[in-house]
Amino acid sequence: MVDYRPFGRTGVRVSSLTLGAMNFGQRGNPDHEDSIQIIHRALDEGINSIDTADVYSDGESEEIVGKALAGGRRDDVFLATKFHGQVGDNPQHRGNSRRWVIRAVENSLRRLRTDWIDLYQAHRPEPDTDFDETLGALTDLVHQGKIRYIGTSTFEPSAIVEGQWIAQRRGRERVVSEQPPYSILARGVEREVLPVAQRYGLAVIPWSPLAGGWLSGRYHAGLEAPISRRAGWLPARFDPALPANAAKLAAVDELAALADEAGLSLIHLAIAFVLEHPAVTSAIIGPRTLAHLESQLGAAKVTLSRDVLDRIDAIVPPGTTLNPADAGYQPPSLADPAYRRRGGSSEQPTGVAP
């Protein structure tokens, strides 16, 4: 069974494991009935928090979650979804603008078969859109009763603080949670994101505690990498020929040996590590099959000793992300050379004053 933790300062309590629904639908498990069985099994085990997004299989994940919660299970679930990424083929169906947020929430409500969303999250920052524009729209949705709380995902520390400032100075509803990438192999958020969340009393619900599958026990040095759809979409994170991924593989072998010595599965070691951080509220697990779910459920019961935690720190030092591609977001100031080269581009970057 799972335990229940305060969701920031909201007064809500959620399970220490959150069921992530990214793998439900065509880009993961296309069998709706199978996915619904996984959701019901998680709920039966005490998980009361589900996280999805409109971009997961172009809305199909939300539809599956909606089916699973129909018939009386909705009221007991803390239901979270996200907006930002492009849904479908229309390039206008994306972003953090008021125009899209208002439309996106109606689409999500319809797919989820619900009258309200407990946590509505900006899936990524959008530097060209004033965050006050986004928070203004989200505040209106809170007042209309369509959403209960506002969250962010993969925001940088400065953007998290800016959101708190905007809420205080401009009378907006406050962001109450952050959903960052966090695992033994991607510890960069320990530097500032997690301390900032603690300072402002935000709930933290990390995604990818298994590092995209690297900590699932399927990756081993000297063996061919397992077949993975994500490897085709995200070669920078999964191509074993890249030095950063070779470093991850070396760390995985050391962590697997440590898990064996501690009498744990690598999966339990990885999830328990994330849950150990005092800033973390609930770790998002994203099973594609019932077997995946069963292998992860027990992690909520595991407590790692000080010695094991110290040895993890020796393998991957605190604050270290072995592969920068695992950070989940690269700001334009790094991704676009025109933002850092005076006169280096014939075109002014969007959002930069001339």
**Rounded Cα gap, residues 146 and 284, in angstroms:** 24
Asked, for residue 88, whether it belongs to a domain, the answer is yes
Asked, for residue 9, whether it belongs to a domain, the answer is yes
Asked, for residue 352, whether it belongs to a domain, the answer is no
Q: Which residues pair with 175 in a beta bridge?
A: 150
Asked, for residue 11, whether it belongs to a domain, the answer is yes
**Rounded Cα gap, residues 188 and 31, in angstroms:** 36
Asked, for residue 247, whether it belongs to a domain, the answer is no
Asked, for residue 354, whether it belongs to a domain, the answer is no
Asked, for residue 261, whether it belongs to a domain, the answer is no
pLDDT of the residue at 346: 46
pLDDT of the residue at 160: 98
Token couple for 90: 């229309």
DSSP 8-state class, residue 16: S
Q: Which domain holds residue 335?
A: 4-218+268-304+317-339
77, burial (CB in 10 Å: exposed 0-12, middle 13-18, buried 19+): buried
Q: Where are the beta strands (DSSP E) in 131-242?
A: 147-153, 175-179, 203-204
**Rounded Cα gap, residues 218 and 250, in angstroms:** 13
As averages over each run of 10 residues, the pLDDT of the chain (354 residues) reads 93 98 96 98 98 98 98 95 96 97 98 98 96 98 98 98 97 98 98 98 98 91 65 82 94 97 98 98 97 96 98 98 95 89 59 36
Number of domains in the chain: 1
pLDDT of the residue at 282: 98
Query: The CATH number of the domain where 131 resides is what?
Result: 3.20.20.100
219 carries an active-site annotation: no
| Catalytic-role residue among 4, 56, 200, 219 | 56
Asked, for residue 144, whether it belongs to a domain, the answer is yes
Query: In this structure, are residues 104 and 54 in contact, taking their beta carbons and an 8 Å threshold?
Result: yes
pLDDT of the residue at 196: 98
Token couple for 323: 């592969």
**Rounded Cα gap, residues 290 and 42, in angstroms:** 9
DSSP 8-state class, residue 146: S
